Amino acid sequence: MATRIQTIEDLCINTIRTLSIDAVQKANSGHPGLPMGAATMAYVLWTRYLRHNPRNPDWPDRDRFVLSAGHGSMLLYSLLFLTGYDLTLDDLKQFRQWKSKTPGHPERGVTPGVEVTTGPLGQGFGNSVGLAIAERWLAARFNRPGHTMFDHCTYVIASDGDMMEGVASEAASLAGHLGLGRLIVLYDANEVTLSATTNVTFSEDVGGRFAAYGWHVQRIDGHDAKAVDAALAAARAVEDRPSLIVARTHLGYGSPHRQDTYKAHGEPLGEEEVRLVKRAYGWPEDPPFYVPEEALKEFRGAVAQGEALEAAWKKRLDAYRAAHPDLADELTRVLAGELPAGWESRLPAFEAKDKPLATREASGATLNALAAVVPNLMGGSADLDPSTHTLLKGMGDFERPLDGAAGGAEGSAEAPKAQGAAGGAWGYGGRSDHFGVREHAMGAILTGMALHGGPVPFGGTFLTFSDYMRPSVRLAALSEAHVIYVWTHDSIGLGEDGPTHQPVEHLPALRAIPNLVLLRPADATETVEAWRIALQHRTGPVALVLSRQKLPILDRTVLAAAAGVARGAYVLTDGEAPSGGEPADPDVILIATGSEVSLALAAHEHLARQGVRSRVVSMPSWELFEAQPQGYRDSVLPPSVRARVSVEAASPLGWERYVGSDGAVIGVSRFGASAPGAVIMREFGFTPEHVAETARAVLGRVRSREERSRR
């Protein structure tokens, strides 16, 4: 072997590089350039700073590592294999293959040690702010003098592309505002993107920008291990501000023909160039996937170190349990994602005689009742609390502590309220998050909070602005993060703000996202049920879609109980059977969601007066309904009843699934308008008369067709 004599440092760095190169080459697909350029930083971070336990990727107090530039996945997979995670060399050889543990971009839940799913640029950066928030909150909530249960950092490697994305800008601004000192971002400034060098598009002073956000900023040569080490040490020492390390690196470092070119970004180097690169590294050209013993040994030091770290933590946990048994119980429960006994006891109840209430208002009351008993329920809105009703009252703001001890490992001994302190003193113990007008960052942060473990996060904005956070919602669904979205002002019914603020297409657009459960409750009572489901559904995000306008509280003494919400759709009423006889199938089924359920009930009365028996089905959640057995679904929507009308103040797209070829969809096929909400609803045909008329027309068509076919 023509191996040049290398320092152990070189050996380790080049092992990362060549594993990445070989895996991409074998897959004939992937991104070799980033691992080649960022290997030095990764080596220093992973062998000297990162406190983790490869034998237990779930150890709660581990440092979090986020490869925001997820296309460099082979960097992360190499590190995970080398430091001893449950990932083998064979897994690396299966890079980007069907059902492998090494998919094209890192996926949470697929590969042990991958904290968050990354690839779409900027998202990992946003997630990392959520991870850092979760850590500080857990520390504030649980640490006690002499008992430090949470004391870890969030490290990020981010790329030029990450830095260009708005979601990262938003998240960076908020992280600076909050003074999250344990967030450390290594910015791999290789000045090349997929299609060009950054001088074509990106000449800003990123360091200067982050300084303006309130970050601690350093500039280094990213290939100088000593400089990386010193910068990480300095960043760790800064406790009151997040740190950005602008590390100048070379994409595709060492590749004779491709270094610093965009071709190194997203294509295999090619067999010949791989040989040339290895030669440049002083590396054996064969075999591929060569891992020097010394390098492996160096990396695998992480195993013993990690086990010792976790063992020490467990010892601290024992001492904590002895000193603070209740808190320790809560800590265990919170980390396990379990709800406290009796958590449902304080859920509000509403009655038909109560005044009409917007479901956003009912949601605010329910949320606050839950927050009083579920200590890890936390969140806020993108600057819309008074409108979305997402403020947690009396639970304090999550904010930079007044005393400046932003990075202190020890939390407040007690909630400051008990000490009579001012609101500001809640510091990181507060549970109300103020995200600012930053919907996208909010989305990414919520996912980070959820995937950290500990918090059950929620975030609110207007439904129309769910578009701003959509890329993050998708990744929450993909990574099965338990996040609760509170999206209010859910239709043209919001009124005067007009079409820019009136959702039309958003319901089908969200229903199309796999693994997202969407609930649009019909009244205050269904809203309570929706929250009950949202807290218990832990395998993905849940969206609550709520009205701005007030809605009557349905009379459950005559209508079915709202417990039916859990099944996605349920029969609210069939009305009186004809002449008090045996209940038979209805003539027509009206299916409605949210604010249109009370409209359907009014249409049902109309129809009754006209001698038509209609069933009203409330269908708050397609996803939950579709998870029911066929028998239940057929009981709600009997196949024999083909006269069906859906009523929802949103795009009609998709409703044919439930109304069938013979039914009718009452929806909104254009953008909305600016006018008082009641006027708009009437002008767009959302009146009991129009619904009843449509139902009669459908029934007429179905009956004449049936008659024809009987002839």
Applying the rule CB under 8 A, the residues between 626 and 665 that interact with its own copies are 642, 651, 653-654, 656-657, 660-662
DSSP conformation class of 383: S
Strand residues in 135-260 grouped as ranges (E): 154-159, 183-189, 216-221, 243-248
* E strand map for 535-685: 542-545, 550-551, 570-573, 588-592, 614-618, 644-647, 664-666
CB 497 within 8 A of CB 463: no
CB atoms within 10 A of CB 453: 17
CB distance 182 to 50 below 8 Å: no
Beta bridge partners of residue 393, listed in sequence order: none
- 40 or 464: CB nearest its own copies: 464
Which one among 48, 683, 700, 704 touches its own copies, defined by CB under 8 A?
Answer: 683
Q: Give the whole-angstrom CA distance, residue 245 versus residue 207.
A: 8
The single-letter DSSP state of residue 675 is: S
Q: Which lies closer to its own copies via its Cβ, residue 154 or residue 169? A: 169
Q: Which is nearer to its own copies, 70 or 620 (CB)?
A: 70
Cβ-based nearer residue to its own copies, 285 or 480? 480
Q: Name 197's bridge partners.
A: 192
Element (H, E) at 66: strand 64-67
Tokens of 378: 């936390």
Q: Which one among 63, 107, 188, 587 touches its own copies, defined by CB under 8 A?
A: 107
Interface mask toward its own copies for 220-259; x: CB under 8 A: ----------------------------------------
Q: Under the criterion CB under 8 A, does residue 496 sit at the interface with its own copies?
A: yes
- 6 or 259: CB nearest its own copies: 259
Strand partners, 244: 185, 217
Give residues 184-223 in contact with its own copies (rule: CB under 8 A): 193-196, 198, 200-209, 211-214
Q: 274: burial class by Cβ within 10 Å (0-12, 13-18, 19+)? A: buried
Q: Which residue has the tokens 């601290």?
A: 316
Q: Residues 483, 457: contact at Cβ < 8 Å?
A: yes
Based on the shown chain and the rule CB under 8 A, indicate whether residue 399 belongs to the binding site for its own copies. yes
Catalytic option among 165, 439, 526, 596: 439
DSSP secondary structure letter of residue 144: B
CB atoms within 10 A of CB 179: 24
Closest to 505 measured CA to CA, from 649, 404, 396: 649
* Nearest distance, CB of residue 101 and its own copies, angstroms: 10
Q: Which of 283, 468, 487, 686 binds its own copies (CB under 8 A)?
A: 468
Sheet containing strand 154-159, edge to edge, reads 64-67, 154-159, 183-189, 243-248, 216-221
Among 282, 284, 453, 498, binds its own copies (CB under 8 A): 498
Determine, following the binding rule CB under 8 A, whether residue 274 of this chain makes contact with its own copies.
Answer: no
Binding mask 296-315 for its own copies (x = CB under 8 A): --------------------
| 307 given a catalytic annotation | no
Position 685 contacts its own copies (CB under 8 A) = no
Question: Is residue 535 a contact point for its own copies (CB under 8 A)?
Answer: no
Q: State which of residues 429, 471, 521, 586 lies at the interface with its own copies (CB under 8 A).
A: 471
Could you tell me if 219 and 160 are in contact, meaning their C-beta atoms sit under 8 angstroms apart? Answer: no
Q: Are 525 and 562 in contact (CB under 8 A)?
A: yes
Window 513 to 532, contacts with its own copies (CB under 8 A): 513-515
| Residue 436 lies near its own copies (rule: CB under 8 A) | yes
Q: Does 104 bind its own copies (CB under 8 A)?
A: yes
Residue 504 touches its own copies, criterion: CB under 8 A: yes
> In the bound complex, what is the minimum distance in angstroms from residue 195's beta carbon to its own copies?
5
> How many residues touch its own copies (CB under 8 A)?
116
- CA-only gyration radius of the chain, Å: 28
**Cα separations in angstroms, 143 against 149, 320, 333:** 6, 9, 16
Answer yes or no whether residue 477 interacts with its own copies by CB under 8 A: yes
Give the one residue of 15, 53, 78, 117 binding its own copies; rule: CB under 8 A. 117
* Window contacting its own copies (CB under 8 A); options: 139-147, 283-291, 438-446, 531-539: 438-446
Is 39 among the residues that bind its own copies (CB under 8 A)?
no
Q: In the set 166, 301, 583, 638, which binds its own copies (CB under 8 A)?
A: 166
Verify binding: residue 26, its own copies, rule CB under 8 A. no
Least distance between its own copies and beta carbon 159 (Å): 9
Nearest approach, Cβ of residue 191 and its own copies (Å): 12
User: Binding of its own copies at residue 103 (CB under 8 A)?
Assistant: yes
The closest of 15, 1, 8, 75 to 290, measured between CA atoms, is 15
Residues designated catalytic: 439
